[in-house]
A = this chain, B = another copy of it.
Amino acid sequence: MSFAPILEADVKNWTETRDVLIVGFGGAGACAAIEAADNGASVTIFEAASESGGSTKLSSAELYLGGGTKVQKAVGYDDSADDVYGYLMDSNGPQADPEKVRAYADGGADHLDWLMALGVPFKMSEYPERAMMALTDDCLLYTGSEKAWPYVDKYKPAPRGHNLYVEGDNGGPLLVKILTEAVEQRDVHVHLEARALRLIVDQFGPEQRIVGLVVREDMEERCYRATRGVVLCAGGFVMNQEMMQDYAPELAKAGTVPIGNPNDTGGGIQMGLSVGARAINMHEGFLSVPFYPPATLTHGIFVNGQGQRFINEDAYHGRIGCYLVKQAFPVYLVLNVDDYADYETASWLAAPVKGTGETIDELAEELDLPTGSLQETVSRYNEAAEAGSDSRFHKSDVWLKPLTGPFVALDCTPGAGAFLPHFTLGGLDTTVDGVVLNAEGSSINGLYAAGRTACGVPRRGDGYASGSSVGDATFSGRRAGRHIATAQ
């Protein structure tokens, strides 16, 4: 399939002319459409699937927002934009984009207000468990490594995952329902089962301007003209095996289950590349070992094939996943059976039990680890737990508890059965307003990208926090929609 652009002059028949054309009706596309319409633009969205939602609908739709949101204040957290900025810059490492992170940190509270004004409900409450998402209708929870080393000593922690006011893991469908209704109330035409194929340019070459889109719908190819430009909100590329091999082969090999919707095949990124856009951070991705809930598993320790611990186990599951896949295998999670508790019903991880034992010696015999190594690691850990201070790995004393047996070890080795979900964090390079940049860092006239088609705020798997994708997608979609509708 070719994504190569075509020339305006070669278009025989224009089906329609609109100010703004948007590719993809997920969280990013919806928010881009709402803002563009609210800023006076006529908009058409083209969505390849038969309904709106994209990967946002499949997600929990947590939103990672801070700096003093309404909910944070109501619950009593005094979060600051500077702490959000510091945490996100640090956790996204050398590839963080300071301008995007600054805007996102400063704009978090306003973004939540905007969603609430659209009718997105949030309960003024907190979900106090260590979890990937709130399974009640409560709102705020810690979804990153804010309370864990190495961040806790540097940036004042606050819960920033905002879960919608809906029982269970149903935030995605509810958020999409509300965004879809908001879109329908505006001057936005929605074309479902409409796959964008190619961009239309006024000319080829460095002076090009994006002026439209070729779309396949109703079994024919139609050309739509855009007076202001095109916003690519078509998701990432985790479902495209060829692109994964070209751009993110390590991620493809390490993860077991790609997370996204079936149309996350990189079409938006490919259309951008075909007109000279720059793609960055393409190798990076989120990669999780979703071992909590139940939170009690955090009392355990991960050990690698050398019998060593390798991380503070109270870190975010995605951080642990990224460390895990770089170890010498196997990797086990070693627990007291007491803490194993309701693992089989409560956990997504599905890691098989590799061994059990009344004593560590018995357990060690069942695991394929160097002689004595597990015993030694557990001894050191137990000393740390008893002292209430983990000087080696800095796990918070909240989660320090001696491993006294009886024991169980879960096999978290990639390929051994555990669920290790992953998705991409690379995409088109854009300005903070979503303008797509070419290889030289100059704007491509009339081309925007948002959500996972762009490279946004979250850029490292080992620094990822839940809610960063829907948070960034909706936030970046809004900025792109506003800019394309108003730019001179």
Chain A residues packing against B (C-beta within 8 Å) = 2-5, 7, 93-95, 203-206, 208, 242, 245-247, 249-250, 252-253, 270, 273-274, 276, 278, 280-284, 306-309, 326, 370-373, 376, 380, 391-393, 429, 438-442
**Which partner residue on chain B sits nearest A274 by CB separation?**
B439
Q: Which of A245, A284, A306 has the most CB of B within 10 A?
A: A306
**Which partner residue on chain B sits nearest A249 by CB separation?**
B94
Shortest CB–CB separation between residue A163 and chain B, in angstroms? Answer: 32
Given contacts A5-B205, A278-B273, contact A392 B307 (CB under 8 A): yes
- Contact between A4 and B440 (Cβ–Cβ < 8 Å)? yes
Which chain B residues border A372 with CB–CB below 8 Å?
380
- Contact between A274 and B440 (Cβ–Cβ < 8 Å)? yes
A2: contacting residue among B247, B282, B440, CB under 8 A: B440
Closest 6 CB pairs of A and B: A204-B205, A204-B204, A273-B439, A94-B249, A4-B206, A94-B253
Which chain B residues border A309 with CB–CB below 8 Å?
306
Given contacts A273-B439, A370-B392, contact A278 B206 (CB under 8 A): no
Shortest CB–CB separation between residue A13 and chain B, in angstroms? Answer: 21
- Contact between B206 and A246 (Cβ–Cβ < 8 Å)? no
- Contact between B252 and A94 (Cβ–Cβ < 8 Å)? yes
Shortest CB–CB separation between residue A386 and chain B, in angstroms? Answer: 14
Shortest CB–CB separation between residue A437 and chain B, in angstroms? Answer: 9
Which chain B residues border A274 with CB–CB below 8 Å?
206, 276, 438-440
8 A–B pairs (Cβ distance < 8 Å), ordered by A: A93-B249, A93-B250, A94-B250, A246-B441, A270-B440, A283-B283, A306-B309, A306-B392
Report Cα–Cα, A245/B98, bound state, in Å: 12
- Contact between A95 and B204 (Cβ–Cβ < 8 Å)? no
Report Cα–Cα, A388/B389, bound state, in Å: 36
Report Cα–Cα, A39/B306, bound state, in Å: 55
Number of copies: 2
- Contact between B373 and A392 (Cβ–Cβ < 8 Å)? yes
Shortest CB–CB separation between residue A324 and chain B, in angstroms? Answer: 13
A95: contacting residue among B249, B284, B438, B440, CB under 8 A: B249
- Contact between B205 and A7 (Cβ–Cβ < 8 Å)? yes
Which chain B residues border A281 with CB–CB below 8 Å?
283
Report Cα–Cα, A3/B4, bound state, in Å: 21
- Contact between A280 and B246 (Cβ–Cβ < 8 Å)? yes
- Contact between B94 and A246 (Cβ–Cβ < 8 Å)? no
Report Cα–Cα, A429/B242, bound state, in Å: 14
Which chain B residues border A392 with CB–CB below 8 Å?
306-307, 370, 373
Report Cα–Cα, A371/B372, bound state, in Å: 20
**Which partner residue on chain B sits nearest A203 by CB separation?**
B204
Which chain B residues border A4 with CB–CB below 8 Å?
205-206, 440
**Which partner residue on chain B sits nearest A309 by CB separation?**
B306
Shortest CB–CB separation between residue A249 and chain B, in angstroms? Answer: 4
Given contacts A204-B204, A278-B273, A280-B247, contact A376 B373 (CB under 8 A): no
- Contact between B252 and A440 (Cβ–Cβ < 8 Å)? no
- Contact between B205 and A429 (Cβ–Cβ < 8 Å)? no
- Contact between B3 and A440 (Cβ–Cβ < 8 Å)? yes
Q: Which of A3, A206, A283, A439 has the most CB of B within 10 A?
A: A439
Report Cα–Cα, A270/B270, bound state, in Å: 18
Query: Apart from A2-B440, A2-B442, A242-B441, what 12 extra A-B contacts exist at CB < 8 Å?
Result: A94-B245, A204-B204, A204-B205, A205-B205, A246-B278, A270-B440, A273-B276, A276-B276, A283-B284, A307-B392, A370-B391, A376-B380
Q: Which of A7, A250, A393 has the most CB of B within 10 A?
A: A250
Report Cα–Cα, A7/B205, bound state, in Å: 9
Which chain B residues border A438 with CB–CB below 8 Å?
274
Shortest CB–CB separation between residue A204 and chain B, in angstroms? Answer: 3
Report Cα–Cα, A249/B393, bound state, in Å: 26
- Contact between A393 and B247 (Cβ–Cβ < 8 Å)? no
Shortest CB–CB separation between residue A251 and chain B, in angstroms? Answer: 9
Report Cα–Cα, A130/B425, bound state, in Å: 40
